[in-house]
Structure 1
């Protein structure tokens, strides 16, 4: 799907009607009227493609993603030049408020995706089309809806939960308890597992698979602490023999290895020279090397604390891939020049997020830097670590060691024969650093108050983010604010 998907632009809000435009086959002004849509099989496919296209937009993978999921943690800081986007420091210090546009972006982006998913689930069943394809498309829409709700429930707790175009008005003004949201996520993923294929042909690579749905469900059960159910899913993935670890950790994040054996799900991105609207992912751009011979803006800088964690573990391999220092030469031959010492806010020695790095030979002219790079959502390495954590919780220390040490062996670290929960959590930090899980992991594992307390984290308040004030205002206070905000 990365190279062949019909890219659509759909600008929707939580209460907006469906709209789309096909930038490959149709004049950008030629938007099909809503009443004429959802009539044909082609409409159904285009509507699902629009969900995938939504995933790579600014609200989904740029500032809101890196600010709320990493900069709030101990992994990274604002970066960029002194004073540039200074509001980001409010998230590092936990002084943000419900009026922050970043929080509104995070909320709106995911509800726009939910709206697209609900449009498919409400309208596609009535289309006369190939039934096998219809079933698969509905499974994809359930997977995407589950993914969007998983982000929201982790970030905000209780959230509005529209599940169709029929209940959107009523459901949008009520916060559904998080346990019910999780129940819906689990049901959607269970339904998706039953119908999604194990793989696709070359023209559709990148769509949600059975393995992607199982992997996300395993992660959901991890957050719920339902260990037997975690292991049911991780065992199915591991025993399928469809996945494995890339031999070279550097390769995991490079474009030639996208949708490879380690990938369960990636947000697909493509760069078309001169077409900025189509090549709209800014995930790499906002984090790319800033300055001389740079690739981006230099935000979301790996912290000294993260560097020290790599050093304490003797983890030279993952540190070199995750943190690009000024003067480094990458495996692709790029010299990291960047800016001078002290010019990046918050650090003296310039460094950048190596996982978002796109080599110069893969940069495409006339579009956002790094727009070609997919965003990794679920990797097999994480499945092994989820499996290890569940096995420790169940007392299967030997089984946990087997899964954990596969991840460690790849980066030349000695095995841990009797891992503890803290060993697993430390491994998650180093393996998944800068990939958007660290803040949620600290909250989930009860470490946030200790680890983030020096930054200003307040337990019982900052475990979740505030509901955007605009949502409270437009619903006339029908949606209540989270505690402490």
Structure 2
């Protein structure tokens, strides 16, 4: 079923919010029009509405975890781009403290979604729905729960692993090791992959399918160091002919993109004409206006001559102090009176080529790794790498292609540099005196106060 449009989003949100609780982690207002929880899973239509509500809650307001905030903060913390707004200076200067603005949202909002997913899983399993519906809805919830746990563990390392809807236990639960979280992710995603339909539920890609789960699993395997399974999972996605690297870069982030594995449709509840909140925040107000998010000069210098990504995914503007480039993957700020053209891109095919390239390099399949990198370089209009490239040079080439290809998307650059222990060596070139301590994202003080068993993630 296609994701229900904005005219009836309010009812979907109400259904999802009734599944929420008043955990101190979460700041969720009670819905105005409540439907009793016991009715939420009485039939397939109601059960479907609960999982649709999870997706709509991820993207219903600007500057929230799933609507561009994570991408923005981690891009600024790394070397993708920086903001002209001083409220983000702590991230640009890597001077993040437990009291830094927005930090609490990186914890509370993923746990809010996880709480919703836990309730969906429990509600479906305890219902009289058909086995087919149970598997589909539960698999989508497991996938979405794992998606958010992936970011929590990479942001904060030791985190509570909450897998039920018991409010009292979740508010007092202590932290577990990253290894335990990753083992859980593999288990949960493998079950979701087995249960979820390979077809999308409708004509758009706004609900995950089997290949979206495989894509996230490939990333988890890569981060876990399981390169054989990372290659296998990425190959499942790449070999599916429904997905293609779009030759026209200006079509990659459209809602009709064949590169999309999973997108989120914006719930437009506050600002008319929004396509994506990221586009609304970052696209200049008119063709001659300046941007307020500028790509770091060191990153601009990394683009090779004739790289189409510089031409199509960045927008130059000139002021008295010089010419700067602002991210321009999403090109629509608002489109009042026109159809929505762009959706928030969450998972896309290009990442799978780069995941497989890195996995293959680790498995000493260097020529195959070169082929994967060259698929991305060819699309960008660049000279292909030679098959004889040295392994060390290929590793740097993969790192560079992932940086420029996924620039500004979902914090990839920050997480990649940290998991490969390259953050200090790379970011010190842009940030100056960048040290290992600067790689730590602390837990917000307000979050620590909400659970007496939480401990700050000091290194």
Shorter-chain TM-score bucket reads 0.7 to 0.9
Distance 1:47 1:19 in 2: 16
Counterpart in 2 of 1:395? Answer: 364
**TM-score, normalising length: structure 1:** 0.83
Distance 1:177 1:278, change over 3 A: farther
Corresponding residue to 2:407 among 428, 433, 436: 433
Preserved contact between residue 282 and residue 293 of structure 2 (Cα < 8 Å): yes
Corresponding residue to 1:314 among 299, 305, 308: 305
Preserved contact between residue 160 and residue 172 of structure 1 (Cα < 8 Å): no
Counterpart in 1 of 2:446? Answer: 470
Name the count of aligned residue pairs: 441
**SS in structure 2 of the partner of residue 301 of structure 1:** strand
Residue correspondence of structure 1 range 91-170 to structure 2 within 5 A: 91-166=91-166, 169-170=169-170
- Unpaired segments of 5 or more residues in structure 2? none
Distance 1:457 1:66, change over 3 A: farther
Q: CA RMSD in A?
A: 3.0
Residue correspondence of structure 1 range 128-277 to structure 2 within 5 A: 128-166=128-166, 169-170=169-170, 172-202=172-202, 205-253=205-253, 255=254, 258-269=255-266, 276=271
Distance 1:442 1:480, change over 3 A: same
Distance 1:353 1:301 in 2: 7
Preserved contact between residue 214 and residue 237 of structure 2 (Cα < 8 Å): yes
**TM-score, normalising length: structure 2:** 0.87
Distance 1:63 1:150, change over 3 A: same
Deviations 1:179-205 (A, max 9, x none): 111111111110111011222253564
Preserved contact between residue 72 and residue 408 of structure 2 (Cα < 8 Å): no
Distance 2:103 2:83 in 1: 16
Distance 1:19 1:90, change over 3 A: closer
Distance 2:121 2:202 in 1: 25
CA offset at residue 31 of structure 1?
Answer: 2.0
- Farther-moved stretch of structure 1 (226-235 vs 371-380): 371-380
Whether 1:45 aligns to 2:48 is: yes
Preserved contact between residue 301 and residue 353 of structure 1 (Cα < 8 Å): yes
Distance 1:180 1:119, change over 3 A: same
- Farther-moved stretch of structure 1 (187-196 vs 415-424): 415-424
Distance 1:145 1:421 in 2: 31
Distance 1:240 1:365, change over 3 A: closer
- Farther-moved stretch of structure 1 (426-435 vs 171-180): 171-180
- Farther-moved stretch of structure 1 (232-241 vs 435-444): 232-241
Preserved contact between residue 161 and residue 171 of structure 1 (Cα < 8 Å): no
Distance 1:205 1:463, change over 3 A: same
Distance 1:260 1:357, change over 3 A: closer
Corresponding residue to 1:356 among 330, 336, 343: 330
Distance 1:409 1:280 in 2: 29
